[in-house]
Amino acid sequence: MKTKETIEEREEREEFAKKMEWLIIARFILYGLATSIAVMRILAGVDPFNPFFLYISLPIFTLNSIYFLLIKKRLYLYPVVYVSFVIDILFVTMGVHFQGGLAATIFPLNYLILILAASILISTRAGIIITTLSSITVTTLITLECLDILPPVNVKGITMAMYQEKGYVIAIMVTRIIFFYAVAIVSGYLSDRIKAQAREIREKEAQLIYAERMATAARIAGESAHEIKNPLAVIKAGLYYLKHILPENNEAQQIISKMDDAGQRAVVYFDDLLQFFRPPRIERSRTNINEMIKKAMAGLPCEVLASIDVQQELSSSLPDIMADSERLEQVVINLVKNATEAMVGVSSKGLGIRSEQEGEFIKIIVSDTGKGMPEEDMEHIFDPFFTTKGKGTGLGLAICQRIVEAHNGRIEVASKMGEGTTFVVRLPAL
């Protein structure tokens, strides 16, 4: 089944496509230069006239035009690139043959260009593959020429005598092949180092920008929360007073309740906002995971779990861990609330809470039988302010992730549309 590309994969694919576009342009230039040099050598009488150079130019430029159009439209991107390299190797090998085999001077350099392009623009592995294919084709060509199965073209005098010295031919070919592999490995290694350093620089720049933005947002959020929560407290106090002086007015009571709920949502939003921007303060103590889960479940309002079949499977052999019990309770409560909200409108509501040990980690697993999430939502589920619900701040799961990571753990999600969602919290055991 074809899976959707992540944002990183799309960006990597787009960057690769742009590199290949420049490679095709470079090919036009290099092939044009090689053909021009060959024609000038023929006109100068250095090489005899050979119609091969004229016959090969048209298909080379035609194929490169096709490659460029396919890559420009992002069609069959990777197959086109590798097929183009293979065809280039065949053309270069033909050029070596028609320029004199062992005596060829211009076309053998194209092997190095192909190897460098594959190693630098694609990967070291691609460079090794192109080197291997180039070595096989040129070795096969020279072998056929030496055996006179494919007679050398434009070869005479001392060059023809070279073919009679088998040891010399073998030494030349082994030297070339070793040089090919050396170029592929060194260029690939240097390219990988440069790419890794560039990636690290980009990541650090992104982290710095993110940290600056978060610091600015935290300052603004803190000032805004202080300025807004104080008037909200006054409003809530006034609503409480109105609610008690108008006990028999049902219509007024309904309006007051709605206003009070709206005010409470605003308070919760600012509390979440402040909590997210502040680094989580972890006060570790010996914690029993099962007792923490039971305490968190007991602290939930009864209406949250109404009409839901709750199944708890808590392993009795779990070791205690050093953790902040209150923070982890917050994580469990948030995950359970998310699970119950995901089951709204579902006929069969089931909530599963499990604890178990897996290697050096303690796992807390919260699963539901809700509607599930599409893959594109799962990619952003822990992003701040991302929410699939009509209400909420979109900060709950982001806060959960920060708390779990502050415990040197990690939180994962798996979901399937129509079947439900499962969150797994992994915490290091003692």
Give me the mean pLDDT over the 403-428 stretch.
91
Q: What angle do CA 361, 364, 365 make, to 5 degrees?
A: 125
Q: How sure is the predictor about 237, in pLDDT bands with cuts at 50, 70 and 90?
A: confident
Q: Check: CB of residue 424 under 8 Å from CB of residue 363.
A: yes
Give me the mean pLDDT over the 275-295 stretch.
84
Q: How sure is the predictor about 244, in pLDDT bands with cuts at 50, 70 and 90?
A: confident
pLDDT number for residue 1: 39
* Residue 182 CB contacts under 8 Å (≥ 6 apart), including other chains: none
Query: Amino acid letter at 331?
Result: V
* Highest mean pLDDT: which range of 65-69, 193-197, 387-391, 423-427: 423-427
* Highest mean pLDDT: which range of 111-120, 278-287, 310-319: 310-319
Helices (H), 52-165: 52-72, 77-98, 108-117, 124-146, 158-164
Separation between Cα atoms, residue 163 and residue 157, nearest integer Å: 11
* Other CB atoms within 10 Å distance of the CB of residue 238: 12
Q: How sure is the predictor about 260, in pLDDT bands with cuts at 50, 70 and 90?
A: confident
Separation between Cα atoms, residue 351 and residue 401, nearest integer Å: 21
- Which of residues 187 and 164 earns the better pLDDT score? 187
- Per-residue pLDDT reduced to its tens digit, 333-374: 989 988 998 888 888 899 999 999 988 899 999 999 988 888
Tell which phi-psi region holds residue 118, choosing left (phi > 0), alpha (psi between -120 and 50) or beta: alpha
pLDDT number for residue 155: 57
Q: How sure is the predictor about 3, in pLDDT bands with cuts at 50, 70 and 90?
A: very low
The helix or strand, by DSSP H or E, that contains position 212, with its residue range, turns out to be helix 166-245
Residue indicated by tokens 């010996």: 286
* Other CB atoms within 10 Å distance of the CB of residue 334: 19
Residue indicated by tokens 């409480």: 240
Q: How sure is the predictor about 293, in pLDDT bands with cuts at 50, 70 and 90?
A: very high
Separation between Cα atoms, residue 119 and residue 191, nearest integer Å: 7
Separation between Cα atoms, residue 281 and residue 274, nearest integer Å: 13
Out of 245-254, 292-301, 390-399, which region has the weakest mean confidence (pLDDT)?
Answer: 390-399
CATH architecture of 285-428: 2-Layer Sandwich (3.30)
Separation between Cα atoms, residue 337 and residue 346, nearest integer Å: 15
Q: How sure is the predictor about 399, in pLDDT bands with cuts at 50, 70 and 90?
A: confident
Percentage of residues in the chain having pLDDT higher than 70: 85
Q: Per the structure block, which two tokens stand in for 127? A: 């460079």
* Residue 183 CB contacts under 8 Å (≥ 6 apart), including other chains: 112, 115, 116, 119, 131
Out of 238-252, 369-383, 413-427, which region has the weakest mean confidence (pLDDT)?
Answer: 238-252
Model pTM score: 0.50
The pairing of beta strand 321-323 with beta strand 285-287: antiparallel
Q: Per the structure block, which two tokens stand in for 333? A: 């409560």
pLDDT number for residue 354: 93
pLDDT number for residue 133: 92
Cα(first)–Cα(last) distance of the chain, in Å? 41
Q: How sure is the predictor about 87, in pLDDT bands with cuts at 50, 70 and 90?
A: confident
Give me the mean pLDDT over the 403-422 stretch.
91
Backbone φ and ψ for 415, nearest 5 degrees, come out as: -150, 150
Give me the mean pLDDT over the 314-321 stretch.
90
Separation between Cα atoms, residue 358 and residue 210, nearest integer Å: 34
Name residue 427's beta-bridge partners: 362
* Residue 268 CB contacts under 8 Å (≥ 6 apart), including other chains: 393
Give me the mean pLDDT over the 138-156 stretch.
78
Q: How high does pLDDT run on average in the chain?
A: 81
- Per-residue pLDDT reduced to its tens digit, 95-128: 788 777 777 766 778 788 888 888 887 888 888 9
* DSSP H helix total and E strand total for the chain: 12, 7
Q: Check: CB of residue 305 under 8 Å from CB of residue 271.
A: no
